[in-house]
Each structure stands twice: as C-alpha cells, then as structure tokens.
Amino acid sequence: MRARPLHAVSTFERGLAGAETNVAVGLARLGHRSGWIGRVGADPFGTYALETLRAEGVDTRATSIDGTAPTGFQLKGLALGGDPEVRYFRAGSAGSRLASTQDTDQAIASARHLHLTGIPLALSASTRAFALRALEIARAHGATVSFDPNIRPTLWTSEAELIDTTNAIAARADWVLPGRSEGRLLTGRDSADGIADFYLGLGASRVAVKDGAAGASLHAAGHRWDHAGFRVSVVDTVGAGDGFAAGLISAYLDGLDDASALERASAVGALATTHRGDRDGLPTREQLSAFTAGATLAPAP
C-alpha cells in the first residue's frame, strides 16, 4: 500500500469525518452524553452521517436535513505516518446553510458544555451567525465553552478576516485550544507562553497549546502544565486535535485537575493518530485506561 496524489486514486473508502463530529464521538465513547448539531442533505452521505453518529451514541435530534442542498464532503489521501492530502467540497452544501432553530436553541440551552470550532465561522454568514448565537445561549445558561480555532485558510476571503473573527470568538470562550502554528498566525506570538498569555488576556480561563510530536501545554493565570506526549505508531495525524479536545472536555466534565486533564487529552489525541480514519482511534474509557496504564512518554524533542 502506498500513498498517491488524489488525482491518481481510483478507489476510495467512505468514512465519517469532521472536527465537530470527531469530538462528539470521542466524548460518547468516553461515556458522556453528547450531541451534534449540523445540517446534512437528503442524500446517501447525509443518511450515512446520521446513522453513524447515532450508532456511536451521539444525539442528532437537533440536526436538520436540507432537501435541496447536498451533504458536504472531503477527499483525503492515504497517509502513512504523516499529514495527508485533503480537498474540501463544502461550497453550497447543506452544512453551509446551518441556521438556528427552536430545536438547536433548546439543545444548547440544556447542555453542560458547548464545543465550537472555527470552521462554521468560515463557511457562510449563516453558519457564523449560528455559532455566535450558540455561544450566547450557552453563556446565558451557565455552560462552559471550549473553542478550537481549527483554521482552514482556504475557506476565508482574507487572512485579516480570519484572524479578527476567530479571535473575537476565542475572547468569549472559557477554554481556547490552538495548535502552536495556529497560535502564531492568530496572535503573532511564537512561544506557547506568548500564545497562551494572549488568550488569557482576552478572558479565557484555560489555554491548551498543542505542538504535535513535541507534546502540549496547558496554561492558566500564573500556572503552566506540560505533557511530552505519548509514544505511539502514527498512521494519520488528522483528528489528533479533535481527540485532544474530547479528552480535555471529558476530563474537566469529570472534575479532574489540570495536570490530569492534560494527560487525558494527550492520550486521546495520541490514540487518534494510530488509525487511518479520523475517529477510528478514539478510545472507549476502558481502552483509554489500558493505554495510559502501559504507555510510555515520548522522548523530549
């Protein structure tokens, strides 16, 4: 088996992907009640997405079906230990027409925690308005909010708009979870401390800076926790950040302290890289316990 450019591939394997669905599935596998709010087309891809999420135990009752727009999709090349080639087909998709409804408002109002990514901010005016309303409802009902910038530069009209809009949302989140390269772009600062200080200054109570194989750090006012990462055989890096988010949210929902939360996030993120599919490596609680009991830390870079 070898990786080839997408234009040379003749056989594809279907799989469910997406930053938000990955986090929802990750939390469900860890024993939490999770729901995904989105919009899919009345087509085979949409049916597959909903059936797969429901089979994973994810609540999709606030998800809507669009009778005129197709389900968005992406093509991802085979990755053998690194980053794969990815092409998105989202313009005009059902997902780009996501809007608030009574069902979505009620689902958000009843949640303990809301997880947002920067992707809806870039897809359309409708999805951006939905993200802003979701944040307002969560805040009004006392839920905590995590935000993963998850930036997709090709979806934005300009870098300035990307930075301004993303940071405006980050300023209203409790926990901000940038990758270090994202943090450099969004804050103009290079170090994990500098990136964290930027978002702590905007009002976040916790900032987790992910740095790939170099591990991750978690920051609060006057405090920093580090984790070197776990040694695993990497198959595909896509979804590692989503696994990290699921692990961190899970830990805080369980009442773990910051150091333990960072360890769980790092473990789930590492396991996510051990399979080809975006969600295939996300562990159950039993699998996570078995992994952390026998895992070794990655060597210092």
Q: Which residues are catalytic?
A: 242
CA–CA distance, 30 with 244 (Å, rounded to integer): 13
User: Which class for 287: exposed (0-12), middle (13-18), buried (19 or more C-beta within 10 A)?
Assistant: middle
Q: How far apart are CA 147 and CA 172, in angstroms?
A: 9
Which residues, in sequence order, are CB contacts of 189 under 8 Å at separation 6+?
Answer: 183, 195, 197, 198
Give the amino acid at 68: T
In the DSSP assignment, the letter for residue 189 is -
The Cβ of residue 279 has, within 10 Å, a number of other Cβ atoms equal to 25
Query: At 72, phi and psi to the nearest 5?
Result: -70, 155
Residue 70 DSSP one-character state: P
